[in-house]
Amino acid sequence: MNLWAVLPVLVPLATALLCLALQRRPVAQRFVSLVGGASFLGIAVALVLGTAGGAVYETRLGNWPQPFAIRLSIDALGAALLAVSGAVLLALLAVPGRGECATARSPLVPPLVHGLMAGVGGAFSTADLFNLYVWFEVMLIAALGLIALGRERRHLDAALRYLVLNALAAVLLLCAVGGLYGVGGSLDFDALSLGLGGDGSPSAAATALVALALLALLIKSAAFPFGAWLPAAYPVLPTPILALFAGLLTKVGAYAVLRLVAQVAPAASAPLLEPLGWIAAATMVTGVLGAAYHQDLRRILSFHVISQIGYILLAISLGTRAAFAAALVYTVHHILVKANLFLIAGLVRRSGGSFDLRHLGGLASRPALALVFAIPAASLIGLPLTSGFWAKLTVVKLCFAEGRYTFGVLALLVGGLTLYSMAKVWIEAFWKEPPDPYYPRRVPKMAFVATFALAALTLALGVYPEPLLVFAELAAALGPGGAR
């Protein structure tokens, strides 16, 4: 038990350090990096299997007694998210080739990627509010390094935008954490939950502080109106790293919102769920409108990240156990699909020579590329037989069941607009005559392995969603007060 709970942090951290030591030996570094990624996935899958049987992997760092120790606790929710993160990590590490720009070739990329994963692993394992903040900082530092690695003006510009909003969020979160400690008397999720009044009537101060923490986490998850940093910062990254960012970073923010609302402060956050729902709706709509407007594939997909975050937050804002389960299902689906779409954007660039829809065309003559794009695209829209169908269906169904007809209709409408924007990509990049007869070029088969694996996972969850839905139902029973 003591060992398993720290592995999601220790393994990526050790991999990062080894990769740093092997900076001058690219082959060995790539090998260590792949082994580290595969071990992370393996551990996460083992944790999922363990937690599916009802186990919770816990450890108190430093063996301090309960009120002082930082507790790492991996329950079904954390394990599920660790597993999809591991799948995405391994997929992007498996993408061969030298990458499309100087950033991708830097020997500092693998250490920073695994450093980021240590932050992600820590955030999904911890049961301590201040420790959660620390893992956000670890992710911020690693992400900032990855953005700034390009060293050109546009990279530094993106890094600055990313830093300003995320550092602001970090400060707000730190203030909220300090305040919650003052009110609730603990930083441990379970103890704090009791300190804030459990399911009873919380003080106004507790609600205000939870609102502050939610504000910080909403900036981190790029919700409306704080999402401006995301489409500004993401497109300067090379696509494999972009896949990691888009798949994981904002989702950790959404995960923290879920923890806070469902486990730490269910009563104190109850009056905040209504505004959260409207913020979620606005996030869905503005994100998809941005995606419908833009022509650069990376920007389109970045705006879709924002739009999909809206769905997750919408599910959380419904505030029931079934809704929390729906949020988890949606997050799992979204991480797999979004990371895959960004990896495919990289393949589109390799074949078509550009990310810009105006300069692309004729990609339909590459059947493997067309197929591998069609599956996650259909899943993003929410067509049947893909994971997106079940994810969207559960959220929309819950909206109507809870009597939130506006939200339900908006969610369907946004689905329609997602269809429009994906159809635009399909028509422009795949059906249109190529503007330059030199394109589309061949892409080596090896480059498709990772994307096909992720697409197969999406399809598998679409055809046979039962295990995921059952597991999510189990995972949504979060600590005291979670099983309302």
Partner 1 sequence: MRHPEDTPNTAPNTAPNTAPNTVSGAELGSARVPSPIVLRATRILYRVLLAAAVLLTLRGHHEPGGGFVGGLFAAVAVLTVALVQGPKVARRRLRVTPIQVAALGVSLAVASGLPALVTGQPFLTHTIGYVPMVGGAWKVSTALLFDFGVLLCVLGSVTGFCLRLLESR
| C-alpha torsion sign, points 337, 339, 342, 348 | negative
Cβ distance to partner 1 smaller for residue 151 or 358: 151
Cα 136 from Cα 174, distance rounded (Å): 11
Of the residues 60, 251, 304, 404, which one makes contact with partner 1 according to CB under 8 A: 60
Q: Does 24 bind partner 1 (CB under 8 A)?
A: no
Is 289 a binding residue for partner 1 by CB under 8 A? The answer is no
User: Burial of 473 by CB count in 10 Å (0-12 exposed, 13-18 middle, 19+ buried)?
Assistant: middle
- Considering the complex, state which of residue 100 and residue 157 has its C-beta at the smaller distance from partner 1: 157
65 lines the binding site for partner 1 (CB under 8 A):
no
Task: For residue 332, give the amino acid letter.
Answer: V
In angstroms, the CA 215 to CA 173 distance is: 8
> Would you count residue 3 as binding partner 1 (CB under 8 A)?
yes
For strand 71-74 and strand 57-60, is the pairing parallel, antiparallel, or unpaired?
antiparallel
Return the range that interacts with partner 1 (CB under 8 A); candidates 10-18, 92-100, 378-386, 391-399.
10-18
Least gap, CB of 23 to partner 1 (angstroms): 9
Stretch of residues binding partner 1 (CB under 8 A), selected from 13-21, 302-310, 363-371, 426-434: 13-21
Q: Does 13 bind partner 1 (CB under 8 A)?
A: yes
The minimum distance between CB 142 and partner 1, in angstroms, equals 12
Question: CB under 8 A: which stretch of 5-13, 94-102, 146-154, 442-450 binds partner 1?
Answer: 5-13
100 contact partners, CB below 8 Å, separation of at least 6 = 238, 239, 346, 349, 350
* 6/396 with CB nearer partner 1: 6
Three-state DSSP class for residue 383: coil
Q: For partner 1, give the closer residue by CB, 10 or 412.
A: 10
The span of 60-68, 250-258, 259-267, 446-454 binding partner 1 (CB under 8 A) equals 60-68
- Residue 39: name the closest of 10, 61, 59 by CA: 10
Query: Strand ranges (DSSP E) for 45-104?
Result: 57-60, 71-74
- Helix, strand, coil % over all residues of the chain, rounded to 5: 75, 5, 20
Determine which residue in the list 63, 98, 403, 445 makes contact with partner 1, applying CB under 8 A: 63
x/- mask, partner 1, residues 408-437, rule CB under 8 A, reads ------------------------------
Pick one of 29, 33, 51, 59: the residue that binds partner 1 (CB under 8 A).
59
Given a contact cutoff of 8 angstroms between Cβ atoms, the answer to whether 257 and 324 are in contact is no
- Residues 404-431 as b/e (b if ≥16 CB within 10 A, e otherwise) read beebbebbeebbebbbebbebbbebbbe
- Min separation Cβ 401 and partner 1, Å: 43
Contact between 14 and partner 1 by CB under 8 A: the answer reads yes
- Work out whether 61 is an interface residue with partner 1 (CB under 8 A): yes
Q: Name the CA radius of gyration of the chain, rounded.
A: 21
10 in contact with partner 1 (CB under 8 A): yes
Residue type, 374: A
Q: Which residues bind partner 1 (CB under 8 A)?
A: 2-3, 6, 10, 13-14, 17, 20-21, 59-63, 69
